[in-house]
Amino acid sequence: MAKLAYLLALAHASLVYGHPAARDVKPEAKVLHGREITISSSLEITTSYSSVLLSSLQSATATVSPSITATFLTGLPSGGFTRDPMPTVSISDVGSLAPIDSTLAPGTTTPAGTASANVFVPMVTDTPPQQITSRDDHAVKKLNIIDQDVPIETNKFYANFFLGSQTSSVWTLPYSLAWAKGHGNSYGIAVTHTERSQLAWGEGDVPRYFIGPIGLQHIVFSAAELGEQTALSTEKLTAFSVFANLSPFRGAEPIMSLPCVQGMGFVTALYNGAKPLLTSGTFFRTLKYVDQLNGITYKYQIQLEDDSQWLLYATPVASLGAPPFELQDSATIVGPEGFIGMIQVAKNPSNTTGEATYDSTAGAYAVNATMSGSVDGSAGSYTLTWGKEGVQNQTLLMFALPHHVESFDQETAAALTDIELVTTVKGYAKAVVADKITMVENDLPDTIGFAPWIRASNGGNGGSSNDLLNTEALAAVNSAGALELAQDFDQQTRLDSMYYSGKGLAKFAGIIYTLQTMAKNTELAAAGLVKLKDAFNVFVNNTQPLPLVYDTVWKGVVSSGTYKTGDTGVDFGNTLYNDHHFHYGYFVWTAAVIGHLDPTWLEAGDNKAWVNTLVRDFANPSTSDPYFPFQRSFDWYAGHSWAKGLFESGDGKDQESSSEDTFSTYALKMWGKISGDANMEARGNLQLAVQARSVNNYFLLASDNKVQPERFLPNKVTGILFENKVDHTTYFGANPEYIQGIHMIPLAPSSSYTRPRKFVQEEWDAYFSNGRAENVTGGWKGILFANLALIDPTTSYNFFADPNFDSTVLDGGASRTWYLAYAAAMQGTGTTAPGEAVVANDAVVANDAVVANDAGDQDAEVSDGENYSDVEYRSSDDEGYDDDDIYSDVEVRSSDE
C-alpha cells in the first residue's frame, strides 16, 4: 500500500507564525517528511477559511438522553490460563539415587563482564537452530496488517486492532480507543476516558472485581466518507505504538490515520482530504472557538453532557485560517470539506490549571518510542524517547504511570505538570511535558545468585546470599535430594506441554544445585546432572511430544500443538503466543544451572543457541533482529509482561502470575551471567528492579498501596490484571490458595526481592493464618508453606522437615529438597566443613561456622563477637571472594546478633 500523502504532509510540519490579518499571505513552503523515511514535498495552498466564524460559541440542546450505557465484561475471556498450573503426572518413590564416582567443577558466578553503555543491543541475529522447522500456516492470519514479512508484536496493547472483530478496545493510557464499526452510527475511532465513578464493582464490602465500561464514546473521530464498507488496517507495529488507518473500503487509500502510542497526551487523527465528522454518544453541549495558538494550530473547547471538558486542536496543512467546525446537533460536529491536517483532542480534568499546558504542546504528537538503558552494579536507569511529528517546535505532552513517577530522574521530575487522569487498573497517570522520560533504579538485584537471598536487615537496599546449612538441614536435604533425584525425570519432563515440562526440568535443576552448593554432596549432584542433561537434551533436539516450530507468519517459536490438533488452547495457548515468558523462563533458568555446574555444556552442540532462541522469542532486546520482535512479553511502559497473545479480548491483555513473570526475568539475569552475556545480565537486573516496583504498585496490595482503589486492597492481590479490569480470581478456580498462590510460584532467590515481608505477612494473616493453610490440599499447600519462609522460615522448615511429610503437597515444579534448603538458609544460620568456610551476608559469619587457616591453625573455632584480622577466608562461588585472598579487620559475629 502506498504511503499516505497526508502523512508525507503532516509528519514534520514546520512552525509557521501567522496572524488572522495575514491569512491571505501565502506561507513559505514547508519541508515535509514521511514516517521513518525522508521525502520532500510542497503543498500549495488550496483553501482559505473565512476569518469570520459562524459563532464563537455554539450550543446544542439534546433532544434525547445521551448514551451513557456500556457493557461490563464480568466473565473471563477465552485464551488465558484454562488449566491448573499443577501438572497431573503421578510421582512414585523408587528409592534413592546412588552417587557416582565423579565430582562437579562449577564455573564462576561473578558478573559476566562489563555491559554496554546501552544494554538494549542485539544478542545474535542468525536463524533458529535447524531442528526447529519452519511453518507458514499459523492458525491466526494477519488481518489488514500493512507491514509484511517482519516480526510482529503479538502481545502488545494494540493487538485488538488486528484480531477477531477488530472492535475491541485498545488502551493507550489514560485513554482507550475502539473502532466503532457502526456502533453509535459511526465508523470512526471512538475515544474514551473512564473515571472511577463509572467503574462497576463486584458485590460486598471487599468486591471480587472492578471493571471499566466498554462501549462509551466520548468523542469519535470519523469522516463523511466513511460508511459500512470502512476498513481498518494497522501499520508500523512497534513495541510502544501503532498506526490505525481507516479507508472508505478495503483496498482504498486511508483517509484518516491515528498514531496510537502508550501514554500519549493527545489523541491525534491525521486527515487526508476528508470531511471530518466528530460524534459523541455522551453528547456535545457546547463547542467554542478560542484562538490561534502557535501560528498554525487552532483551539476549540468542547463540553459534553456529562460535564466533562475537552479540548480540540486543529492544525491544517495546505490551507489558511481557522478551519470551521459546526456543532450540527448534540451528537455531531462537522468539519470542512477536503480537510488535510491533524485534529487532536484531550480531556481537561477539572480543578487544574492544565489548559495552558495543553495549549503549549498542541500540534506535536508522538509516533513511536525507543528504549535505552544503562547499568552500573546496583544502579541503573532506562529512558523512553518518543519519536515526534507535527509541529516540531512544540514539546510533547505525555502521561507517566505511578511506577514511572516514583523513579523519575531530576530532569524528568521537573517536567511534571498538575494534569492527571485516572486509568482503570494503574492508578492516576500524570502528564509530563517532555520528549523523553528517564527512570532511575538504585536497588538492582545484582547480589542475587542461585542461593537463597536475604534482604539487608537494616531495611536498606541490597542483601546477600546464604548457602550455609546447619547439621540438621544438611542431613534432611541430602536425604530428600537422593529420593527426589531417583524419580523418573523423563516421566515428569517429556510432556505435551512446554509449561509443565519446563517446571519439571527446573525442579530437578534446583535439587541438583542445592546438593552441589549447599549440601556439598558433589557425587550425588553429579549423578543427578547426568539425568538432567539427558532430559534437557530432548528439547534441544526438539524430540518432545509436541516439538517447537518457527512460525514465519508472526515470527516466533511456538508449540506445534495447535497445528497438530486444531485446538488453539493447547498448552495454555502457546501456539498463539500465550505465556511464552512463563513457559520458556523455566527452560532458561534450568540451562543457567546446567551451564553453571558444567561450563563445558555451554559450548556443546546447539545448547547455547537453542536457549538463546527461546530468549529471543520472549525477550529479544533489539529491533534489528529479523526473526523475532522486540520484547514480545515484557511491556517497558506498563512495567510488567502481558501473558495473552493472539486472542481478541474485550478487556485487553492480561496477566495472572506476577511471580512467574518476575521469575522469567530472574532466569534471563542468571542465563546472561552464566553464558557470558553481560548485557543480558544487566538488562535482567534492571528489568527485575522495574518489575519489583510495578508489581508492588499494581499486583500486590499491601495496606499502604496508593494506586489501586482502597476498597479492593483487602484482596491482597489483584488476581488477574487486565488492561480494563481487575478480577480477584484465576482462570482455573477461585480458591484463595489459587488466587494468592499463583502470585507466589515458583519460590526463587528473587522472591524475597519482589515480595516484601510487609506484604507477605499481611497476605498470610488475611488468608492463611490460624491453621487455615493446614486445611489446603495438594500442591498449593506446599506453595503456601514455602512462601511462609519469607517471613517465618522456622515454621516453613519444620513443615517440610516433618518425618511424616506428605509429598503429595508438592507442586510438580517444586521439590522438598529446595524448600528445606531455602527455609533453612533464610533462618540465617548454618555450618560448613573445615577448610570450606564461607563469608556470607556482608562478611558476617554465622554462629558455629569454622574459619579455615586462621593464622595457620586449621579448624580454628570462631568465638562470638570477636574481631579477627589477617584471617584467610575461602569463599563459595556465589560470594565473590577469591580463594587465598586476605581480608583484614573482618568482624565475625554470631547469628544471634
Look up residue 607 and give its amino acid.
N
For residue 408, the 8-state DSSP code is: B
Catalytic residue among 441, 635, 660, 879: 660
Rounded Cα–Cα distance for residues 811 and 237 (Å): 39
- 851/837 Cα distance (integer angstroms): 5
441 SS3 class: strand
660 is catalytic: yes
Examine the residue annotation and report whether 681 is marked as an active-site residue of this protein: no
DSSP tag of 450: S
Handedness of CA 537, 540, 543, 544 (dihedral sign): positive
Strands 654-655 and 640-641: unpaired
Residue 654 designated active-site: no
Amino acid (one-letter) located at 805: F
**What is the gyration radius of the CA atoms in the chain, in angstroms?**
30
Which among 225, 579, 763, 877 is annotated as catalytic?
A: 579
Q: Please name which of 497, 685, 466, 502 lies closest in space to residue 593, comparing C-alpha atoms.
A: 502
Residues forming beta bridges with residue 190, ordered by sequence position: 178, 220
Place of cell 524430540: 543
Task: Tell me the one-letter amino acid at 287.
Answer: L
How far is 16 from 12, CA to CA, in rounded Å? 12
Q: What is the dihedral of CA 711, 715, 716, 718, to 10 degrees?
A: -90
CB atoms within 10 A of CB 124: 15
Distance CA 300, CA 313 (A): 6
Three cell numbers, residue 747: 519460590
* Category of 225 on φ-ψ map: left (φ > 0), alpha (ψ -120 to 50) or beta: alpha
Round to whole Å and give the CA distance between 605 and 611.
12
DSSP string computed for 289-314? EEEE-SSS-EEEEEEETTS-EEEEEE
CA dihedral sign, ordered 190, 196, 197, 203:
positive
Q: Nearest 5°: phi and psi at 794?
A: -65, -50
First to last CA, the chain: 71
Question: Which cell numbers in the block locate residue 465?
Answer: 546470599
3-state class percentages of the chain: helix first, strand second, coil last, to nearest 5: 30, 20, 50
In one-letter notation, the amino acid at residue 102 is S
CA distance 85 to 81: 8
Q: Distance between CA atoms of 48 and 326, rounded to whole angstroms?
A: 17
Tell me the residue ranges of DSSP E strands in 529-668: 548-551, 556-559, 634-635, 640-641, 654-655
Residue with cell 461490563: 72
Catalytic choice (598, 656, 737, 877): 656
Nearest-CA neighbor of 68 among 200, 232, 260?
Answer: 200
What are the residues facing 272 on neighbouring strands? 340
Q: Using CA atoms of 172, 173, 175, 180 in order, give the dihedral in degrees to the nearest 10.
A: 30
The residues annotated as belonging to the active site are 579, 656, 660
